[in-house]
Structure 1
Amino acid sequence: MRINAKVMRALEKSVARENCGAARAAEKPRETKERPAHLAFGTAAEETAARYLAGLGYTILHRNVRVGHCEIDIIARDGDELVFAEVRARRANPVAAPEDTVGPVKLERLTRAAELWTQHANYMGFWRIDLVAVTLYDGGEMNIELIKNITEPVI
């Protein structure tokens, strides 16, 4: 397989950055900081969504997969179909529910990321994009809603 010179340079830069980061990490231990509350909330929502999907019979394959500039929150299998699940979490808000925060740009990015992932994995079967909307109400009550196939069916 012949690698494009531009791709090779990018790969070499990436490896150099990794090596540089590893050398710095060996020199001085990192201070651990608490995660900001919104990031901790998002992580907890993704964990809850993964457990919810598993409870519905989905098999969780991967979580937090970076594809280009997009992240796929959960990649799972629902029977014979591959599912790319986007998790959206909000505290109870009368203005915007979690499912209302996925617009056309995000849908396009999710679709492109799923296409790239399936190409890279040589996956030729059916797949879809689902949305798991998590709403946290005052008092700790949580509502989880699964919206299947938020885009058109794709082969």
Structure 2
Amino acid sequence: MNKLLFAFCLCLSIFCQAQRIKLEIEFRYGLPDCSGKCKTDAEIQNSKIDKPLAKQRFYIYQSGICVDSIRTNDSGLVIIKYPPGRYYLYEPWKHFKRTPDNSPMTDFFPDCLAKEWVKPNYYLTIEMDGQYKMTYNEISASRCPFQYACLKVRHLPTLIKK
């Protein structure tokens, strides 16, 4: 009986592993212009080119539970192997319930921050056939520090002065 139970568990384990789908995902973002100055045509064109999101950690949630964390490489790539399903990716500041730039919590409206913490940065849906869809919401790297949500006082860029 024990051998039969062991064989069943082994087959079930192999079947579950076979259901995992390997994906290579590239993370990119638009670098914000926080200077406040007028741009040349060349600068405007360069600002439209997405940059790799290098060495960024994301926490993976499924059904409200953190199941894993990933870190992109220098090229913004990450290789994952997950079973089909819907996953939610969060930046570390949301996972650890902090502020986007690690500034004091007193600089932000707490109720607003609580709403931001539950908003995923990405939605990832993996289908049984290996197809996937990743929906981007927003990441902190694509915003200037004075544009963060929930700030009590929004400071203007340093180049804009009266």
Q: Choose between structure 1 and 2: higher helix proportion.
A: 1
Q: TM-score, normalised by structure 1?
A: 0.21
Which structure's CA Rg is the greater one? 2
Q: TM-score, normalised by structure 2?
A: 0.20
